[in-house]
Amino acid sequence: MFEVIDFSVHLLLKIEILKSHDINISKEIIEDIVRFPDKIEMGYKGRQIAQKGFDETHVLRVIYETKPEKILVITVYPGRRSRYEKD
């Protein structure tokens, strides 16, 4: 298990953007999704997408890269359960 999780500048900006739309996501929530996801998929450029339920109709998807010494979280975005929980 990776102990160190770093956050990209883009992710920190995205957290603020989502907050301005009344979607409050903390670093702790993101770390929990990376460590204990409901689902993991392969993403673009070898990145991974960790997903976890957020509310009744949405999931949070966290895009990250696994490095030898850490996990680097690239971005996060909410998605509709109906789109991402089909299987």
Q: Strands 71-80 and 5-7, how do they pair?
A: parallel
Q: What is the pLDDT of residue 83?
A: 87
Quick: pLDDT tens for 23-75.
899 999 999 999 999 999 999 998 999 999 988 888 999 999 998 889 999 99
Which residues lie across from 76 on neighbouring strands?
62
Q: What is the CATH number of the domain that holds 72?
A: 3.30.2310
In which domain, by residue range, is 30 found?
A: 5-84
Note the pTM of the prediction, 2 decimals.
0.88
Q: How many domains does the chain have?
A: 1
The Cα-based distances of 13 to 44, 63, 69 in angstroms read 21, 14, 24
